Amino acid sequence: MPLHIQTPYVRSHVASRRLGKDVLLKLEAMQPSGSFKLRGVGAVCDARRAAGSRRFVSSSGGNAGIAVAYAGRELGVPVLVVVPESTSARARDLIRLEGAELLVHGASWAEANMFAQSVLSPHDAFVHPFDEPELWQGHSTMIDEMAAAGPKPDAVVLAVGGGGLLCGVLEGLARNGWCDVPVVAAETQGADCYARSIAQGRPVELPAITSVATSLGAKRPCDAAVEWATRHAVENIVVSDAAAVAASLRFLDEHRILVEPACGAALAALDAASSVLAAASRIAVIVCGGVTATVEHLQALSSRER
């Protein structure tokens, strides 16, 4: 039994009406850990436990760390999550709530990650948040569910941080014979390392993350995500923080589901200028979810952006 669930795949009447197209939502926000991360992280943790790992270690203070904590609790394996001081009280609480040991170390993620690597023992499994083939395989199962459920979309829209979700979705599209379905990869300004990498033709590193969409805050995408764009049609869209936050709030009003601005970036991309979306009549959106935002937080961001 996998740790993730099969999520609903539903047509959004309100978004379909607005765009004059069929808009289908893959509701990964419904995963028990609150984001798609559980698909890949669950697959990795399952495999590591079977191979004898006695502890899972993560350095993510976001949805990846929360998914590792969830997986460890479900599998009965202890979990250590090392996060930097910048990690919000809410994220810390969510990790502890899953029963994981939480260590706060360093001012930046790089310091927390270095510390996590330094405490690894031979029986520990470090679970990377986006750069790991078994993780991509886990993420790819969402496309199997979409292919089993219904008609082939003309485009798939998703958010990109480090590119793990993108790699998984592209692997799933290929496996299901949907190699000709273009992907729209959305990011926010200030977390747009993937669009910049594609423009340069190689992975490039942002000097800093300045976007409020913290779950997209990888400074550099994984090599595999950049390579994929040479074999599959991928269109890059960069939206503003304000557009991403507004899209999250609108999604809450229209679908009664709370998602982070990271996911709002993909939702906002539906309204952006896009040759892929203009040509599509059936659009599938990966509603990747995320648990680190609250309604109050989104509203505060929204008034700040105005």
Ligand X SMILES: *Cc1c(COP(=O)(O)O)cnc(C)c1O
Site residues for ligand X per CB under 6 A:
35, 37, 62-63, 130, 159-166, 215-216, 218, 260, 262-263, 288-290
- Cα distance between residue 209 and residue 187, in whole Å: 12
- Cα distance between residue 94 and residue 76, in whole Å: 18
Q: Taking the complex as a whole, how short is the minimal distance between the CB of residue 257 and ligand X, in angstroms?
A: 12
Q: Are 26 and 286 in contact (CB under 8 A)?
A: yes
Q: Taking the complex as a whole, how short is the minimal distance between the CB of residue 183 and ligand X, in angstroms?
A: 12
Q: Are 52 and 123 in contact (CB under 8 A)?
A: yes
Nearer to ligand X, 7 or 21 (CB): 7
Q: Taking the complex as a whole, how short is the minimal distance between the CB of residue 275 and ligand X, in angstroms?
A: 23
Nearer to ligand X, 37 or 232 (CB): 37
Q: Taking the complex as a whole, how short is the minimal distance between the CB of residue 82 and ligand X, in angstroms?
A: 17
Q: Taking the complex as a whole, how short is the minimal distance between the CB of residue 244 and ligand X, in angstroms?
A: 11
Q: Are 188 and 238 in contact (CB under 8 A)?
A: yes
What are φ and ψ of residue 171, in 5° steps? Answer: -60, -40
- Cα distance between residue 115 and residue 129, in whole Å: 16
Rg over alpha carbons for the chain, rounded to the nearest Å, is 18
What are φ and ψ of residue 56, in 5° steps? Answer: -105, 135
